[in-house]
């Protein structure tokens, strides 16, 4: 019996392939230290935060891998109305706010990095979805609430977010109902272990090594 053979199929313009290309290109960008204030820059696009340290036991297993703790996008226009966002520096502003949140949450800012890439809104959306589906970053999934804003009376009456429960310190008000911190940490540890075990199963290749950019260097 002759061996059956069917050629592979490849659509370079499929949504999945474009997302994979964006994620691969994104991960070739340098990791930037968050120790110092981030110099202001204009533009919108895709970004992610990474842990590169040893002092926080919960995140230490991620310290040498391209697994972000958080992935997001900063758009140039409102997705609902199409109007240009009021923020003049959307990507920089988002990263600056996240830096403050990490510090207020009692985490060592010197052990965190960010990666960013200017992209049109539609491609930033594809890239963020690719990173979130591929990695399921811990602050996007099991410890939600990191990227949220305190906006109004309804928000202030809601329960403390899972992220703020584990990393208390941000100046935010909330209702009396809180999550169980020990349960959240146990869930997070299990999730991170699963992330590490699935690390080599992504559809795009990982870069050979990190390129670190320290903003304190002249």
Query: How do the domains of the chain map onto residue ranges?
Result: 15-203
Q: Is the pLDDT of residue 163 over 90?
A: yes
Structure confidence at residue 177 (pLDDT): 60
Contact 54, 48 (CB under 8 A): no
Q: In DSSP terms, which residues pair with 186 in a beta bridge?
A: none
Distances (CA, A) of 90 to 86, 133, 137: 9, 23, 22
Q: What token pair was written down for 185?
A: 């940490």
Q: Is the pLDDT of residue 156 over 70?
A: no
Within 10 Å of residue 185's Cβ, how many Cβ atoms? 16
Contact 13, 190 (CB under 8 A): no
Confidence label for 3 from pLDDT (cuts 50, 70 and 90): confident
pTM: 0.89
Task: Work out the angle at residue 163's Cα, subtended by the Cα atoms of residues 165 and 96, and round it to the nearest 5 degrees.
Answer: 130
Structure confidence at residue 90 (pLDDT): 93
């Amino acid at each position: 019996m002759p061996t059956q053979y069917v050629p592979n199929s490849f659509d370079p313009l499929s949504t999945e392939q474009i997302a994979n290309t964006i994620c691969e290109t994104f991960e070739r960008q340098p990791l930037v230290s968050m120790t110092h204030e981030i110099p202001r820059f204009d533009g919108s696009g895709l970004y992610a935060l990474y842990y590169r340290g040893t002092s926080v036991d919960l995140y230490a297993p991620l310290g040498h891998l391209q697994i972000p703790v958080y992935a997001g996008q900063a758009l140039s226009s409102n997705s609902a109305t199409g109007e240009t966002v009021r923020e003049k520096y959307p990507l920089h502003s988002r990263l600056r706010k996240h830096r403050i949140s990490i510090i207020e949450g009692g985490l060592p800012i010197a052990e965190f990095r960010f990666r960013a890439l200017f992209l049109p809104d539609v491609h930033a959306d594809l890239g963020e979805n690719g990173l979130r589906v591929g990695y399921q970053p811990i602050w996007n999934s099991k410890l939600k609430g990191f990227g949220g804003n305190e906006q109004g009376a309804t928000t202030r009456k809601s329960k403390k977010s899972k992220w703020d429960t584990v990393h208390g310190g941000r100046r935010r008000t909330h209702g009396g109902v809180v999550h169980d911190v020990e349960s959240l940490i146990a869930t997070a540890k299990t999730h991170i272990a699963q992330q590490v075990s699935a690390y080599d199963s992504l559809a795009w290749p990982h870069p050979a090594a990190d390129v670190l950019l320290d903003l304190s260097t002249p």
